[in-house]
Structure 1
Amino acid sequence: MRVVRRSGFVVALVLLTAMVLVGGCGRSVDGTAVRSARAAPWDPCSLSDDVIRRAGLDPATRDSASLVNGAGELSCEWHNDDLFMTLTAIAGATIEQVHSGQGNHDFHDAIVGNRTVTTYRDEGDRTGSFCFLVVPLEPAGIALMQVSRTAFTEDTTPMCVWAYRVGDVVVAAMPR
């Protein structure tokens, strides 16, 4: 069940990475394309165990090995009995690229963790099992946070409400 749940997220990451690599990684000098050096992304696994605990997740469940990452991406995930959170930092990506991503809809700006974030949903999520938060990172890039239900939860709280609760702690701990 976990692989199915993550498949939409992986597809979104692959598409976003392709957009960044094709559309945003170079500049033109005298008509010649030049690749710009891209800073390494922030490492989401660097969040402290205390932050993860305060977000209501279990720090012992931290996993980065099973996640697929492209160039300029780092991911980490945690869970508890009811929720999964996957956090991916993507160097050089923008919120505008997420807006133009195929299947992304229901965008809303919100204040989470004392920062302006954008939430959205994936059109393939007919049951409301996921919510995505996009957090701008300086100097360039985004953190993409996916919060989803586990297969065993009986909690029916809307996922973006959960994402705001978890995000209030996690987003506040991210670099600006």
Structure 2
Amino acid sequence: MTVLGCGVRVFGLALAGSVVVGCGGGERASGVPQTSVVSVAASPTSVDAEAKVWDPCSLPDSAIGELGLNVGSRKKEVAGVDFSGWKTCSWQDSAKQYTFSVLSSEHTLAESRSRTDFTDFSDTTVGSHTALQLRTTGATHDQGCTLAVEVPDGSVLFRLLNRVSASSPPPPCAEVRRLTDSLAVFLPAD
């Protein structure tokens, strides 16, 4: 029997580890839709990895506000992007001179150091945590600065990016350091 106008639809059930593939819009000559089941291995690592990653949006509003950041500007993504494997949170300062982002993942400081989109590495500490100051390569090099801080299950990146239109932006590395030092008490303990 012939299948008429078959379009494929995929329905995934990540927890069960199965994908159901069926033909929509097409029918067998007998009028019965054709469906088959294909098993694929689920990736428990990605679910488990995000479960143990510290959530930067758990930083208390009172601490954020005391630093001169606009509590109402909080976003759970950076630049409108939700990065898989990362938990992120960002705020604007009250004067709208910069965006302050905090990104948490299982990635290590060594992985940050090996990235080619970072430069100007400088070993440091933040509270009791080993840390690495770095800057991005390219056009935003002078507008931004990042502190990558080691935590038990990976690292947390504190990133400050001055707005191009800012009238009197702060020196990015000094400002990200001030913010990071104040928020370090909320990081997961070693």
**Fold shared by both chains (TM-score > 0.5):** yes
The ranges of structure 1 where at least 4 consecutive aligned residues each deviate by more than 6 angstroms after the TM superposition are none
SS of residue paired to 2:74? strand
| 1:45 alignment counterpart | 57
The Cα of 1:83 is off from its aligned counterpart by 1.8
> Is the Cα–Cα contact under 8 Å of residues 162 and 169 in structure 2 kept in the other structure?
no
> Is the Cα–Cα contact under 8 Å of residues 113 and 170 in structure 1 kept in the other structure?
no
The Cα of 1:164 is off from its aligned counterpart by 0.6
| 1:74 alignment counterpart | 87
Among 98, 123, 134, the alignment partner of 1:83 is: 98
Among 50, 58, 71, the alignment partner of 1:59 is: 71
Q: Distance in 2 between matches of 1:46 and 1:35?
A: 24
TM-score by length of 2: 0.66
Q: Is 1:175 equivalent to 2:188 in the alignment?
A: yes
Structure 1 residues 35, 112: closer, same or farther in 2, change over 3 A? same
TM-score by length of 1: 0.70
| 1:31 alignment counterpart | none
SS of residue paired to 1:128? coil
CA displacement 1:24-58 (0-9 Å, x = unmatched): xxxxxxxxxx9855362111111000111122211
Larger radius of gyration: 2
Q: Distance in 1 between matches of 2:128 and 2:72?
A: 27
| 1:98 alignment counterpart | 112
Which stretches in structure 1 are left out of the alignment for 5+ residues?
1-33
The Cα of 1:134 is off from its aligned counterpart by 0.4
Q: Distance in 2 between matches of 1:125 and 1:110?
A: 25
SS of residue paired to 2:184? helix
How many pairs are equivalent?
140
CA displacement 1:90-121 (0-9 Å, x = unmatched): 12x11001111012111112233453321101
SS of residue paired to 1:50? helix
Among 145, 149, 156, the alignment partner of 1:135 is: 149
Give RMSD over aligned pairs.
2.2
Which stretches in structure 2 are left out of the alignment for 5+ residues?
1-42
Say which structure, 1 or 2, has more relative contact order (CA 8 Å, 6+ apart).
1
| 2:134 alignment counterpart | 120
Q: Distance in 2 between matches of 1:126 and 1:64?
A: 22
| Between structures 1 and 2, the one with greater helix share | 1
Structure 1 residues 103, 39: closer, same or farther in 2, change over 3 A? closer
